[in-house]
Amino acid sequence: MPPLPVSAVVVNLDGGDLLARALDALEGEAVDEIVVVDNGSGAGEVSRLASRPGLRLLSLPENLGFAAPANLGAREARAPFVAFVNNDCVVGPGYLAACLAVLEDHPGLAAAQGLVLTGDGAAVDGRGIGWNARAEAIQLGRGEFPPGPGGEPLEVPGVSATAALFRRDLFLSAGGFAESFFAWYEDVDLALRLRRAGARFASVPEARAFHAGTATGRRDPEKRWRRLFTNRLRTLRRNFDPAALPALHSCRPAAGATLGPAAAELGWPRALRAAFATRAAARPFEEEDRAVFLSLPPLTELPS
């Protein structure tokens, strides 16, 4: 039986046992190739990856985040579909085949993802990217009890790069992930840019994956929240008509529901410091963001 026409791309930084489990699962998916883009891991990790049979290893000398290494993996990929799978995410049997079948049956879809559960499978981690009333991107279904097996594919506003399958040509023609984001919100921004060009996305309930959750980001949580806040603001100003989105005019663009989880992890002083640094951190990218805004008709409402 021929392999799936899929290149699986995993961005890694010292993933250790989590990475090993992710790769074991991908090997069971019978994909055309597995590409690991390593972000400057320790010598032991790189040696283990280099000696793993059937793996393409692209080694970077330093940590470049997620967006740039993921784009490198997509450019180097040889299959017409590219799957991005986090190094702490284990896809269930048939995950990529189920997503691929939906993309092949629906030419208007740019990408698809399955139902991603928490690492223990006890709750939903996300079934696609959505939006709340505060103009914050959210993981649809997060925290819900997992539904039963099966179910028809559902259209969603976007897909999460935790475990998503893209048409490679559309991904590359859209410019891939915004590399200046480094990490976080890059998949949200890409979904909006593709949507502005007329693309659609689907969630495939029969495909299941298990996500340990921000294993890399937990190493420096304040930096992670600072990037989340900054990249959220940049995503909004790149893709939305400012007259239609009051959040763009707020002097506290990171305020609202986001601060609660940030404060729970960092404490209020550090969370507030990260939030109020947002506009200054986003300022150097104004020209880039303006060019993206002008490249396509902007959105006038939050996708639903």
What average pLDDT score do residues 180-187 get?
A: 97
**Tens digit of each residue's pLDDT (9 = 90 or more) over 21-63:** 999 999 999 999 999 999 999 999 999 999 999 999 999 999 9
- pLDDT of res. 192: 98
251-299 residue pLDDT tens: 455 545 578 888 888 888 898 888 888 889 999 999 999 999 999 999 9
Based on the domain organization, do 176 and 227 belong to the same domain? Answer: no
Residue 166, both tokens: 């893209």
Tokens linked to 24: 């074991």
- What percentage of the chain reaches a pLDDT higher than 70? 94
Q: Domain end: 188, 216, 244, which one? A: 216
291: enclosing H helix or E strand? helix 286-295
For residue 277, what pLDDT is reported? 87
Whole-number average pLDDT of the chain: 93
In a domain, 302, yes or no: no
Cα separations in angstroms, 127 against 7, 133, 278? 22, 19, 28
Residue 282 corresponds to which tokens in the numbers above?
A: 């986003």
CA separation for the pair 171, 178 (Å, rounded): 11
In a shared domain, residues 125 and 255: no
**Which of 70-79, 160-169, 234-243, 255-264 has the weakest average pLDDT?**
255-264
Task: Please determine, for residue 190, whether its predicted confidence score (pLDDT) is greater than 50.
Answer: yes
Domain count, the chain: 2
Tell me the pLDDT band of 246, cut-offs 50, 70 and 90.
confident
pLDDT at 209 over 60: yes
72 with 87, same domain: the answer is: yes
Could you tell me if residue 301 is inside a domain?
A: no
Q: Answer yes or no: is 129 within a domain.
A: yes
- The verdict on residue 255 lying in a domain is yes
Both 40 and 183 in a single domain?
Answer: yes
Same domain, 237 and 203: no
pTM for this entry: 0.95
Band of residue 213 on the pLDDT scale cut at 50, 70, 90: confident
Q: Quick one: 85 and 131 in the same domain?
A: yes
Domain range for 291: 220-295
How confident is the model at residue 216, as a pLDDT?
56
Mean pLDDT to the nearest integer, 81-95 = 98
pLDDT of residue 296: 97
- Min mean pLDDT across 23-27, 149-153, 215-219 is at 215-219
The pLDDT score that the predictor gives to residue 175 is: 98
Average pLDDT of span 174-202: 98
Amino acid at 153: P
Q: 137: pLDDT confidence band, cut at 50, 70 and 90?
A: very high
Domain of 82, CATH number, reads 3.90.550.10
Q: What is residue 275's predicted lDDT score, i.e. its pLDDT?
A: 86
Burial letters 34-47, b for 16+ CB under 10 A, else e: bbbbbbbbeeebbe
C-alpha distance across the termini of the chain, in Å: 39
The model's confidence at residue 91, banded by pLDDT at 50, 70 and 90, is very high
Nearest partner of 223 among 178, 279, 183, 177, judged by Cα: 183
Which of 198, 216, 234 is at the close of a domain? 216
Residues 201 and 252 in one domain: no
Q: How far apart are CA 100 and CA 120, in angstroms?
A: 25
